[in-house]
Amino acid sequence: MNTRSRIRAGAAAVALALLAAGCTGSGSGGGVRGTPGAAGLRDPLFPRLGNGGYDVSHYALTLSYDPATGRLDGRAEITAKATQDLSAFNLDLAGLTVRGATVDGAPAAVNRAGDELTLRPHDEIEDGAEFRTTVSYGGLPKTITDSDGSEEGWLKTADGALALGEPTGSMAWFPGNHHPSDKAAYDITITVPSGVKALSNGVLTAEKQAPGGRTTSVWHVAEPMASYLAMLAIGRYDTSSTTSTAGAGGTIPVLTAADPEVAAETAALRARIPEILDWQKENFGPYPFAASGAVVERDDDVGYALETQTRPVFPASSFDTHTLVHELAHQWYGDSVSPASWKDIWLNEGFATYGEWLYAEDFEHTPAQKNFEKAFANDAAWAFPPAAPRTPEDLFAAPVYQRGAMVLHRIRQEVGDDTFFEILEGWPTKHRHANVTTEDFTTYVESVTGRDLSGLWDVWLYGDGKPDKPTD
Protein backbone atom coordinates (compact mmCIF):
# COMPACT_ATOMS: atom_id res chain seq x y z
CA MET A 1 0.00 0.00 0.00
CA ASN A 2 1.17 3.51 -0.75
CA THR A 3 0.67 6.78 1.14
CA ARG A 4 -2.57 6.57 3.10
CA SER A 5 -4.06 5.53 6.45
CA ARG A 6 -6.92 3.37 7.72
CA ILE A 7 -8.60 1.09 10.34
CA ARG A 8 -12.05 0.26 11.33
CA ALA A 9 -14.97 2.20 12.65
CA GLY A 10 -17.15 0.25 15.05
CA ALA A 11 -20.20 -1.53 13.64
CA ALA A 12 -23.61 -1.41 15.27
CA ALA A 13 -24.35 -4.55 17.25
CA VAL A 14 -27.08 -6.78 15.82
CA ALA A 15 -28.36 -9.99 17.43
CA LEU A 16 -29.39 -12.96 15.31
CA ALA A 17 -29.98 -16.55 16.43
CA LEU A 18 -30.61 -19.39 13.99
CA LEU A 19 -31.33 -22.60 15.93
CA ALA A 20 -29.93 -25.77 14.46
CA ALA A 21 -31.26 -29.24 13.95
CA GLY A 22 -29.70 -32.29 12.34
CA CYS A 23 -26.41 -34.09 12.72
CA THR A 24 -22.92 -33.49 11.36
CA GLY A 25 -22.21 -37.18 11.47
CA SER A 26 -19.14 -36.81 13.66
CA GLY A 27 -20.93 -38.15 16.69
CA SER A 28 -19.22 -36.94 19.81
CA GLY A 29 -21.26 -39.48 21.77
CA GLY A 30 -21.39 -37.81 25.18
CA GLY A 31 -20.51 -34.52 26.76
CA VAL A 32 -18.84 -31.82 24.74
CA ARG A 33 -15.07 -31.99 25.13
CA GLY A 34 -14.33 -29.00 22.92
CA THR A 35 -14.22 -25.33 23.80
CA PRO A 36 -15.05 -22.25 21.70
CA GLY A 37 -12.31 -20.87 19.49
CA ALA A 38 -11.03 -17.43 20.42
CA ALA A 39 -12.99 -14.45 19.10
CA GLY A 40 -9.76 -12.53 18.41
CA LEU A 41 -6.08 -13.28 17.86
CA ARG A 42 -4.77 -10.56 20.19
CA ASP A 43 -2.94 -8.77 17.44
CA PRO A 44 -0.94 -5.97 19.11
CA LEU A 45 -2.82 -3.33 17.13
CA PHE A 46 -6.15 -5.10 16.43
CA PRO A 47 -6.68 -7.51 19.33
CA ARG A 48 -10.23 -8.48 18.29
CA LEU A 49 -9.38 -9.08 14.63
CA GLY A 50 -9.30 -12.67 13.39
CA ASN A 51 -10.35 -15.82 15.17
CA GLY A 52 -8.69 -18.76 16.90
CA GLY A 53 -9.22 -22.53 16.86
CA TYR A 54 -8.94 -23.13 13.12
CA ASP A 55 -6.92 -22.40 9.99
CA VAL A 56 -8.70 -21.64 6.72
CA SER A 57 -7.35 -23.31 3.58
CA HIS A 58 -9.92 -22.16 1.00
CA TYR A 59 -12.70 -19.62 0.44
CA ALA A 60 -15.31 -20.17 -2.28
CA LEU A 61 -17.29 -16.94 -2.54
CA THR A 62 -20.38 -16.81 -4.76
CA LEU A 63 -21.59 -13.24 -5.06
CA SER A 64 -24.23 -11.22 -6.89
CA TYR A 65 -24.20 -7.42 -7.00
CA ASP A 66 -26.68 -4.94 -8.43
CA PRO A 67 -25.14 -1.46 -8.85
CA ALA A 68 -28.60 0.07 -9.24
CA THR A 69 -29.76 -0.96 -5.77
CA GLY A 70 -26.36 -1.40 -4.12
CA ARG A 71 -27.38 -4.84 -2.84
CA LEU A 72 -24.85 -7.65 -2.43
CA ASP A 73 -25.95 -11.26 -1.95
CA GLY A 74 -23.42 -13.92 -1.13
CA ARG A 75 -22.64 -17.46 -0.13
CA ALA A 76 -19.28 -18.20 1.47
CA GLU A 77 -18.02 -21.78 1.62
CA ILE A 78 -15.05 -21.86 3.98
CA THR A 79 -12.83 -24.94 4.23
CA ALA A 80 -10.76 -25.03 7.41
CA LYS A 81 -8.87 -27.33 9.75
CA ALA A 82 -9.51 -27.31 13.48
CA THR A 83 -6.48 -26.59 15.66
CA GLN A 84 -8.30 -27.63 18.85
CA ASP A 85 -11.45 -29.49 19.82
CA LEU A 86 -14.10 -26.94 18.87
CA SER A 87 -17.54 -26.59 20.40
CA ALA A 88 -18.01 -23.26 18.60
CA PHE A 89 -15.98 -20.85 16.46
CA ASN A 90 -16.15 -17.30 15.19
CA LEU A 91 -16.10 -15.52 11.85
CA ASP A 92 -15.61 -11.80 11.25
CA LEU A 93 -18.39 -10.03 9.31
CA ALA A 94 -19.34 -6.35 9.35
CA GLY A 95 -22.83 -5.11 8.62
CA LEU A 96 -24.38 -7.69 6.31
CA THR A 97 -27.32 -9.85 7.42
CA VAL A 98 -26.77 -13.59 7.84
CA ARG A 99 -29.60 -15.75 6.50
CA GLY A 100 -28.27 -19.11 7.64
CA ALA A 101 -25.21 -21.29 8.14
CA THR A 102 -24.20 -24.93 7.99
CA VAL A 103 -21.17 -26.90 9.13
CA ASP A 104 -20.45 -30.00 7.04
CA GLY A 105 -23.93 -29.73 5.57
CA ALA A 106 -25.87 -29.63 8.85
CA PRO A 107 -27.53 -26.42 10.13
CA ALA A 108 -25.49 -24.54 12.72
CA ALA A 109 -26.66 -22.05 15.32
CA VAL A 110 -25.44 -18.50 14.67
CA ASN A 111 -25.18 -15.67 17.17
CA ARG A 112 -24.30 -12.16 16.06
CA ALA A 113 -22.59 -9.52 18.19
CA GLY A 114 -21.26 -6.58 16.21
CA ASP A 115 -18.63 -7.81 13.77
CA GLU A 116 -18.47 -11.30 15.32
CA LEU A 117 -20.45 -14.33 14.18
CA THR A 118 -20.36 -17.24 16.59
CA LEU A 119 -21.26 -20.56 14.95
CA ARG A 120 -22.12 -23.59 17.05
CA PRO A 121 -22.20 -26.84 15.06
CA HIS A 122 -24.51 -29.66 16.14
CA ASP A 123 -21.53 -31.82 17.13
CA GLU A 124 -18.12 -30.63 18.16
CA ILE A 125 -15.28 -30.58 15.64
CA GLU A 126 -12.27 -32.63 16.64
CA ASP A 127 -8.77 -31.21 16.71
CA GLY A 128 -7.13 -31.78 13.31
CA ALA A 129 -10.41 -32.37 11.47
CA GLU A 130 -11.14 -30.57 8.21
CA PHE A 131 -14.60 -29.00 8.12
CA ARG A 132 -16.61 -26.89 5.71
CA THR A 133 -18.75 -23.96 6.77
CA THR A 134 -21.32 -22.34 4.49
CA VAL A 135 -22.77 -18.93 5.31
CA SER A 136 -25.55 -17.26 3.30
CA TYR A 137 -25.78 -13.51 3.69
CA GLY A 138 -26.77 -10.27 1.99
CA GLY A 139 -27.69 -6.63 2.25
CA LEU A 140 -26.13 -3.24 1.60
CA PRO A 141 -22.39 -3.65 2.30
CA LYS A 142 -20.67 -1.10 4.51
CA THR A 143 -18.11 1.52 3.77
CA ILE A 144 -15.80 1.57 6.79
CA THR A 145 -14.54 5.05 7.62
CA ASP A 146 -11.24 5.05 9.43
CA SER A 147 -10.08 7.38 12.17
CA ASP A 148 -8.32 9.66 9.66
CA GLY A 149 -11.39 9.86 7.40
CA SER A 150 -10.12 7.44 4.73
CA GLU A 151 -12.48 4.72 3.56
CA GLU A 152 -12.23 0.98 3.00
CA GLY A 153 -14.55 -2.00 2.86
CA TRP A 154 -17.21 -1.54 0.18
CA LEU A 155 -16.79 1.65 -1.85
CA LYS A 156 -19.60 2.59 -4.22
CA THR A 157 -18.40 4.11 -7.47
CA ALA A 158 -20.14 5.99 -10.25
CA ASP A 159 -20.75 2.79 -12.22
CA GLY A 160 -20.29 -0.01 -9.69
CA ALA A 161 -18.19 -0.66 -6.61
CA LEU A 162 -14.72 -1.38 -5.25
CA ALA A 163 -14.07 -3.80 -2.40
CA LEU A 164 -10.79 -3.03 -0.63
CA GLY A 165 -9.72 -4.17 2.79
CA GLU A 166 -6.48 -3.06 4.45
CA PRO A 167 -6.44 -3.65 7.36
CA THR A 168 -10.03 -4.66 8.28
CA GLY A 169 -12.33 -3.83 5.36
CA SER A 170 -12.53 -7.30 3.80
CA MET A 171 -15.06 -8.27 6.50
CA ALA A 172 -17.46 -5.81 4.86
CA TRP A 173 -18.14 -8.20 1.97
CA PHE A 174 -17.47 -11.75 3.14
CA PRO A 175 -17.29 -13.66 6.44
CA GLY A 176 -13.98 -15.22 7.39
CA ASN A 177 -10.86 -15.16 9.50
CA HIS A 178 -9.79 -11.61 8.69
CA HIS A 179 -6.28 -11.55 10.08
CA PRO A 180 -3.23 -11.62 7.78
CA SER A 181 -1.78 -14.66 9.58
CA ASP A 182 -4.51 -16.94 8.18
CA LYS A 183 -3.91 -17.03 4.43
CA ALA A 184 -5.96 -19.19 2.05
CA ALA A 185 -6.67 -19.97 -1.60
CA TYR A 186 -9.75 -18.34 -3.15
CA ASP A 187 -12.35 -18.97 -5.82
CA ILE A 188 -14.53 -15.91 -6.36
CA THR A 189 -17.63 -16.07 -8.56
CA ILE A 190 -19.34 -12.73 -9.13
CA THR A 191 -22.53 -12.03 -11.11
CA VAL A 192 -23.34 -8.49 -12.28
CA PRO A 193 -25.60 -6.90 -14.92
CA SER A 194 -24.39 -7.39 -18.48
CA GLY A 195 -22.35 -4.45 -19.69
CA VAL A 196 -20.68 -4.18 -16.31
CA LYS A 197 -17.39 -5.99 -15.71
CA ALA A 198 -16.42 -7.68 -12.44
CA LEU A 199 -12.72 -8.21 -11.73
CA SER A 200 -11.04 -9.87 -8.80
CA ASN A 201 -7.68 -11.40 -7.86
CA GLY A 202 -5.88 -14.13 -9.74
CA VAL A 203 -6.79 -15.79 -13.03
CA LEU A 204 -10.11 -15.41 -14.85
CA THR A 205 -11.17 -19.02 -15.44
CA ALA A 206 -14.68 -18.47 -16.87
CA GLU A 207 -17.00 -15.74 -18.04
CA LYS A 208 -20.54 -16.62 -19.06
CA GLN A 209 -24.02 -15.23 -19.48
CA ALA A 210 -26.36 -15.66 -16.53
CA PRO A 211 -30.18 -15.49 -16.38
CA GLY A 212 -31.78 -12.08 -16.22
CA GLY A 213 -29.37 -10.28 -18.53
CA ARG A 214 -26.39 -10.74 -16.26
CA THR A 215 -22.78 -11.91 -16.60
CA THR A 216 -20.91 -14.25 -14.27
CA SER A 217 -17.11 -14.13 -13.90
CA VAL A 218 -15.06 -16.76 -12.07
CA TRP A 219 -11.65 -15.91 -10.58
CA HIS A 220 -9.15 -18.37 -9.13
CA VAL A 221 -6.33 -17.62 -6.68
CA ALA A 222 -4.26 -20.77 -6.16
CA GLU A 223 -1.61 -19.19 -3.95
CA PRO A 224 -2.32 -18.32 -0.30
CA MET A 225 -3.78 -14.82 0.11
CA ALA A 226 -4.40 -12.75 3.22
CA SER A 227 -8.00 -11.54 3.35
CA TYR A 228 -6.98 -7.86 3.35
CA LEU A 229 -5.49 -8.40 -0.13
CA ALA A 230 -8.73 -9.70 -1.66
CA MET A 231 -10.49 -7.27 -3.98
CA LEU A 232 -13.46 -6.74 -6.26
CA ALA A 233 -13.72 -4.09 -8.97
CA ILE A 234 -17.13 -3.71 -10.58
CA GLY A 235 -17.73 -1.16 -13.32
CA ARG A 236 -17.66 -0.32 -17.03
CA TYR A 237 -13.93 -0.80 -17.50
CA ASP A 238 -11.73 -0.69 -20.55
CA THR A 239 -9.51 -3.75 -20.27
CA SER A 240 -6.22 -4.78 -21.85
CA SER A 241 -4.42 -8.11 -21.79
CA THR A 242 -0.79 -9.01 -22.35
CA THR A 243 1.77 -11.39 -20.82
CA SER A 244 4.92 -11.30 -18.73
CA THR A 245 7.85 -13.70 -18.56
CA ALA A 246 8.61 -12.81 -14.92
CA GLY A 247 6.77 -15.81 -13.46
CA ALA A 248 8.58 -18.68 -11.79
CA GLY A 249 7.07 -21.15 -14.26
CA GLY A 250 7.25 -18.97 -17.34
CA THR A 251 4.66 -16.73 -18.98
CA ILE A 252 1.85 -15.27 -16.88
CA PRO A 253 -1.21 -13.26 -17.99
CA VAL A 254 -1.27 -9.52 -17.25
CA LEU A 255 -4.76 -8.01 -17.17
CA THR A 256 -5.34 -4.32 -16.59
CA ALA A 257 -8.59 -2.38 -16.34
CA ALA A 258 -9.28 1.34 -16.27
CA ASP A 259 -12.35 3.48 -15.88
CA PRO A 260 -13.18 4.78 -19.39
CA GLU A 261 -12.61 8.36 -18.23
CA VAL A 262 -8.95 7.62 -17.41
CA ALA A 263 -8.20 4.73 -19.76
CA ALA A 264 -6.41 6.70 -22.46
CA GLU A 265 -4.19 8.68 -20.09
CA THR A 266 -3.09 5.54 -18.20
CA ALA A 267 -2.70 3.14 -21.14
CA ALA A 268 1.03 3.71 -21.72
CA LEU A 269 2.04 3.05 -18.12
CA ARG A 270 -0.27 0.04 -17.82
CA ALA A 271 1.49 -1.39 -20.86
CA ARG A 272 4.83 -1.13 -19.01
CA ILE A 273 3.86 -3.60 -16.27
CA PRO A 274 5.62 -6.58 -17.96
CA GLU A 275 8.79 -4.48 -18.32
CA ILE A 276 8.72 -3.45 -14.65
CA LEU A 277 8.07 -7.02 -13.53
CA ASP A 278 11.08 -8.20 -15.53
CA TRP A 279 13.28 -5.66 -13.74
CA GLN A 280 11.85 -6.65 -10.37
CA LYS A 281 12.46 -10.33 -11.14
CA GLU A 282 16.16 -9.53 -11.57
CA ASN A 283 16.27 -7.96 -8.10
CA PHE A 284 13.63 -9.86 -6.10
CA GLY A 285 13.53 -13.26 -7.79
CA PRO A 286 10.73 -14.79 -9.88
CA TYR A 287 7.29 -13.21 -9.60
CA PRO A 288 5.42 -15.28 -6.98
CA PHE A 289 1.92 -15.51 -8.50
CA ALA A 290 0.12 -16.89 -11.55
CA ALA A 291 -1.19 -13.54 -12.81
CA SER A 292 -0.57 -9.81 -12.62
CA GLY A 293 -2.18 -6.54 -13.66
CA ALA A 294 -3.75 -3.39 -12.28
CA VAL A 295 -7.06 -1.55 -11.90
CA VAL A 296 -7.09 2.24 -12.36
CA GLU A 297 -10.08 4.23 -11.11
CA ARG A 298 -11.17 7.84 -11.19
CA ASP A 299 -9.96 9.87 -8.23
CA ASP A 300 -13.55 10.32 -7.03
CA ASP A 301 -13.88 6.54 -6.63
CA VAL A 302 -10.83 5.75 -4.48
CA GLY A 303 -8.38 7.93 -2.61
CA TYR A 304 -5.28 5.71 -2.40
CA ALA A 305 -3.33 2.95 -4.11
CA LEU A 306 -3.42 -0.56 -2.63
CA GLU A 307 -1.36 -3.68 -3.34
CA THR A 308 -4.29 -6.09 -3.70
CA GLN A 309 -2.80 -9.46 -4.64
CA THR A 310 -1.98 -9.88 -8.34
CA ARG A 311 -4.04 -6.81 -9.30
CA PRO A 312 -3.26 -3.61 -7.36
CA VAL A 313 -5.72 -0.71 -7.44
CA PHE A 314 -4.86 2.94 -8.13
CA PRO A 315 -6.60 6.29 -8.41
CA ALA A 316 -5.61 7.88 -11.71
CA SER A 317 -3.72 10.75 -10.08
CA SER A 318 -1.49 8.27 -8.18
CA PHE A 319 -0.89 6.01 -11.16
CA ASP A 320 2.69 7.07 -11.76
CA THR A 321 5.84 5.03 -12.27
CA HIS A 322 7.04 5.13 -8.67
CA THR A 323 3.67 4.16 -7.21
CA LEU A 324 3.35 1.34 -9.72
CA VAL A 325 6.85 0.09 -8.83
CA HIS A 326 5.89 0.28 -5.14
CA GLU A 327 2.65 -1.67 -5.44
CA LEU A 328 4.18 -4.31 -7.72
CA ALA A 329 7.09 -4.73 -5.29
CA HIS A 330 4.49 -5.55 -2.66
CA GLN A 331 3.62 -8.69 -4.62
CA TRP A 332 6.89 -10.11 -3.23
CA TYR A 333 7.03 -8.12 0.03
CA GLY A 334 3.67 -8.14 1.77
CA ASP A 335 1.54 -10.28 -0.54
CA SER A 336 3.67 -13.41 -0.93
CA VAL A 337 5.67 -12.80 2.28
CA SER A 338 2.99 -11.44 4.61
CA PRO A 339 3.19 -10.03 8.14
CA ALA A 340 2.41 -12.35 11.04
CA SER A 341 0.83 -9.39 12.83
CA TRP A 342 0.12 -5.80 11.93
CA LYS A 343 3.09 -4.55 13.96
CA ASP A 344 5.31 -6.21 11.33
CA ILE A 345 3.94 -4.06 8.49
CA TRP A 346 7.26 -2.29 7.99
CA LEU A 347 8.36 -5.51 6.28
CA ASN A 348 5.75 -4.67 3.62
CA GLU A 349 6.25 -0.96 3.30
CA GLY A 350 9.98 -0.66 3.95
CA PHE A 351 10.79 -3.13 1.17
CA ALA A 352 8.30 -1.60 -1.29
CA THR A 353 9.68 1.88 -0.60
CA TYR A 354 13.22 0.61 -1.09
CA GLY A 355 12.01 -0.85 -4.39
CA GLU A 356 11.27 2.73 -5.46
CA TRP A 357 14.77 3.79 -4.38
CA LEU A 358 16.31 1.00 -6.45
CA TYR A 359 14.24 1.96 -9.49
CA ALA A 360 15.40 5.57 -9.16
CA GLU A 361 18.98 4.32 -8.86
CA ASP A 362 18.77 2.16 -11.98
CA PHE A 363 16.70 4.38 -14.27
CA GLU A 364 16.73 7.96 -12.95
CA HIS A 365 20.39 8.47 -11.99
CA THR A 366 19.40 8.97 -8.35
CA PRO A 367 21.50 6.87 -5.96
CA ALA A 368 19.63 5.20 -3.11
CA GLN A 369 21.94 7.17 -0.80
CA LYS A 370 20.27 10.39 -1.92
CA ASN A 371 16.81 9.05 -1.04
CA PHE A 372 18.22 7.81 2.26
CA GLU A 373 19.46 11.30 3.06
CA LYS A 374 16.11 12.81 2.13
CA ALA A 375 14.29 10.36 4.39
CA PHE A 376 16.81 10.90 7.20
CA ALA A 377 16.09 14.64 7.10
CA ASN A 378 12.35 14.11 7.47
CA ASP A 379 11.54 14.59 11.16
CA ALA A 380 8.26 12.70 10.75
CA ALA A 381 10.22 9.52 10.01
CA TRP A 382 11.49 9.45 13.61
CA ALA A 383 8.14 9.55 15.42
CA PHE A 384 8.45 5.90 16.49
CA PRO A 385 10.56 2.83 15.62
CA PRO A 386 9.37 1.12 12.42
CA ALA A 387 9.11 -2.27 14.16
CA ALA A 388 7.00 -0.82 16.98
CA PRO A 389 3.96 1.11 15.69
CA ARG A 390 1.96 2.17 18.73
CA THR A 391 -1.61 2.50 17.43
CA PRO A 392 -3.58 1.58 14.32
CA GLU A 393 -3.12 5.16 13.14
CA ASP A 394 0.64 4.46 12.91
CA LEU A 395 0.29 1.67 10.34
CA PHE A 396 0.84 3.91 7.35
CA ALA A 397 2.94 6.66 8.90
CA ALA A 398 6.36 7.85 7.73
CA PRO A 399 8.46 5.64 10.07
CA VAL A 400 6.93 2.49 8.55
CA TYR A 401 7.77 3.56 5.00
CA GLN A 402 10.79 5.82 5.15
CA ARG A 403 12.56 4.57 8.26
CA GLY A 404 11.73 1.03 7.16
CA ALA A 405 13.55 1.69 3.90
CA MET A 406 16.40 3.32 5.84
CA VAL A 407 16.85 0.08 7.80
CA LEU A 408 17.38 -1.75 4.52
CA HIS A 409 19.82 0.85 3.28
CA ARG A 410 21.82 0.60 6.51
CA ILE A 411 22.04 -3.17 5.98
CA ARG A 412 23.30 -2.50 2.46
CA GLN A 413 25.92 -0.11 3.81
CA GLU A 414 27.03 -2.63 6.45
CA VAL A 415 27.27 -5.77 4.29
CA GLY A 416 27.92 -4.47 0.77
CA ASP A 417 25.94 -4.78 -2.44
CA ASP A 418 26.62 -8.45 -3.21
CA THR A 419 25.32 -9.70 0.13
CA PHE A 420 22.52 -7.13 0.26
CA PHE A 421 21.07 -8.21 -3.08
CA GLU A 422 21.40 -11.83 -1.98
CA ILE A 423 19.18 -10.88 0.99
CA LEU A 424 16.79 -8.93 -1.22
CA GLU A 425 16.08 -12.01 -3.34
CA GLY A 426 16.62 -14.69 -0.72
CA TRP A 427 14.14 -13.33 1.83
CA PRO A 428 11.01 -13.66 -0.39
CA THR A 429 12.30 -16.94 -1.77
CA LYS A 430 12.81 -18.54 1.65
CA HIS A 431 9.42 -17.36 2.97
CA ARG A 432 7.39 -17.59 -0.24
CA HIS A 433 3.63 -17.53 0.57
CA ALA A 434 4.31 -17.54 4.32
CA ASN A 435 3.84 -15.20 7.28
CA VAL A 436 6.85 -13.64 9.00
CA THR A 437 7.84 -11.52 11.98
CA THR A 438 10.49 -8.84 12.35
CA GLU A 439 12.50 -11.34 14.38
CA ASP A 440 12.37 -13.79 11.45
CA PHE A 441 13.92 -11.08 9.28
CA THR A 442 16.73 -10.11 11.64
CA THR A 443 17.57 -13.79 12.19
CA TYR A 444 17.61 -14.38 8.43
CA VAL A 445 19.90 -11.41 7.74
CA GLU A 446 22.36 -12.51 10.42
CA SER A 447 22.34 -16.08 9.11
CA VAL A 448 23.18 -14.87 5.59
CA THR A 449 25.83 -12.39 6.67
CA GLY A 450 27.28 -14.43 9.52
CA ARG A 451 27.37 -11.21 11.53
CA ASP A 452 25.87 -9.97 14.76
CA LEU A 453 23.93 -6.85 13.67
CA SER A 454 22.25 -6.21 17.01
CA GLY A 455 23.69 -2.70 17.12
CA LEU A 456 22.02 -1.86 13.83
CA TRP A 457 18.69 -3.31 14.96
CA ASP A 458 18.84 -1.53 18.33
CA VAL A 459 19.35 1.88 16.73
CA TRP A 460 17.53 1.78 13.40
CA LEU A 461 14.78 -0.79 13.85
CA TYR A 462 13.84 -0.52 17.52
CA GLY A 463 15.51 2.66 18.75
CA ASP A 464 13.64 5.78 19.82
CA GLY A 465 14.71 9.11 18.43
CA LYS A 466 16.97 10.14 15.60
CA PRO A 467 20.50 8.71 15.65
CA ASP A 468 23.62 10.40 14.41
CA LYS A 469 23.76 10.45 10.64
CA PRO A 470 25.99 7.63 9.40
CA THR A 471 28.81 8.28 6.99
CA ASP A 472 28.41 6.98 3.46
**% of the chain with per-residue pLDDT over 70:** 93
Mean pLDDT of 19-25: 34
Residues 6+ apart with CB under 8 A from 174: 59, 61, 63, 74, 76, 93, 230
Tell the burial category of 464 from Cβ atoms under 10 Å away from its Cβ (0-12, 13-18, 19+): exposed
pLDDT, tens only, 364-407 = 999 999 999 999 999 999 999 999 999 999 999 999 999 999 99
Mean pLDDT of 74-83: 98
Query: Please, what sign has the CA dihedral across residues 408, 182, 256, 319?
Result: negative
Entry field: residues in the chain:
472
Q: Are 102 and 186 in contact (CB under 8 A)?
A: no
Mean pLDDT of 429-446: 98
Mean per-residue pLDDT of the chain = 93
pLDDT exceeds 90 at position 266: yes
60: enclosing H helix or E strand: strand 54-66
- Pinpoint the alpha helices (H) of 179-272: 263-270
Looking at residue 403, the DSSP 8-state letter turns out to be I
Residue 229 has a pLDDT of: 98
Residues 6+ apart with CB under 8 A from 23: 106, 122, 123
Pairing of strands 197-200, 232-235: antiparallel
- R_g over Cα of the chain: 22
Mean pLDDT of 97-112: 98
Position 55: which residue type? D
Give the C-alpha separation, 348 to 331, whole Å.
Answer: 9
Q: How many CA atoms lie within 13 A of 130 on its CB side?
A: 5
Position 59: which residue type? Y
Mean pLDDT of 435-450: 98
**% of the chain with per-residue pLDDT over 90:** 90
Position 210: which residue type? A
pLDDT, tens only, 375-387 = 999 999 999 999 9
Instruction: Note if the bond before 193 is cis, omega within 30 degrees.
Output: no
pLDDT exceeds 90 at position 18: no
Mean pLDDT of 340-359: 98
Give the C-alpha separation, 16 to 109, whole Å.
Answer: 9
Give the C-alpha separation, 50 to 41, whole Å.
Answer: 6
306-329 b/e (C-beta count within 10 Å ≥ 16 → b): bbbbbbbbbbbebbeebbbbbbbb
Residue 32 pLDDT class (50, 70, 90 cuts): low
pLDDT exceeds 60 at position 20: no
Sheet strand arrangement including 238-247:
238-247, 250-258, 292-297, 313-315
Give the C-alpha separation, 12 to 328, whole Å.
Answer: 36
Residue 3 has a pLDDT of: 42
Give the C-alpha separation, 418 to 426, whole Å.
Answer: 12
Give the C-alpha separation, 463 to 220, whole Å.
Answer: 43
Looking at residue 229, the DSSP 8-state letter turns out to be G
Residue 14 has a pLDDT of: 30
Q: Of 117, 292, 134, 284, nearest to 204 (Cα)? A: 292
Mean pLDDT of 49-65: 98
Q: Please report the DSSP string for 322-369 in residue order.
A: HHHHHHHHTTTBTTTBEESSGGGTHHHHHHHHHHHHHHHHHHSS--HH
